[in-house]
């Protein structure tokens, strides 16, 4: 079930793309999500990926686009190493 998969974006704080997306869809900005969840507050390696997740979560973006953007970071080597 590919729809149930999620990826840890912030390894330091164990924050998944789903958690970030849920907060973004609730209308929070990246700065608000960073404060609320602590994403990108430790080593900072996940900031670019986390910002992309927030950007992809506008109401007109399908969930598949979110997963494709996160996967692109991982493949390019800019996402967290698992």
20 within a domain of the structure (yes/no): yes
Mean residue pLDDT across the chain: 82
Confidence of residue 79 (pLDDT cuts 50, 70, 90): low
- The pLDDT of residue 5 is 76
Provide the H-helix boundaries in 15-76.
Answer: 17-25, 30-37, 47-56, 63-76
Q: How far apart are CA 32 and CA 56, in angstroms?
A: 16
Q: How far apart are CA 1 and CA 6, in angstroms?
A: 11
Q: What's the domain count of the chain? A: 1
| Residue 55 Cα to chain centre, angstroms | 9
Burial-class residue 49 by CB neighbours within 10 Å (0-12, 13-18, 19+).
buried
The enclosing domain of 46 has a CATH number of 1.10.10.1100
Give the domain extent around 21.
2-76
Full-model pTM: 0.68
81 within a domain of the structure (yes/no): no
- 25-58 confidence digits (pLDDT tens): 999 999 999 999 999 999 999 999 999 999 998 6
Is the pLDDT at 69 greater than 70? The verdict is no
């Amino acid at each position: 079930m590919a729809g149930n998969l999620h990826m840890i974006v912030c390894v330091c704080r164990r924050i998944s793309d789903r958690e970030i997306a849920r907060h973004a869809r609730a209308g929070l900005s990246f700065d608000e999500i960073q404060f609320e969840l602590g994403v990108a507050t430790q080593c900072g390696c996940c900031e670019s990926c986390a910002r992309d997740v927030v950007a992809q979560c506008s109401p007109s973006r399908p969930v598949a686009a979110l997963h494709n953007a996160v996967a692109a970071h991982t493949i390019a080597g800019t996402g967290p190493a698992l």
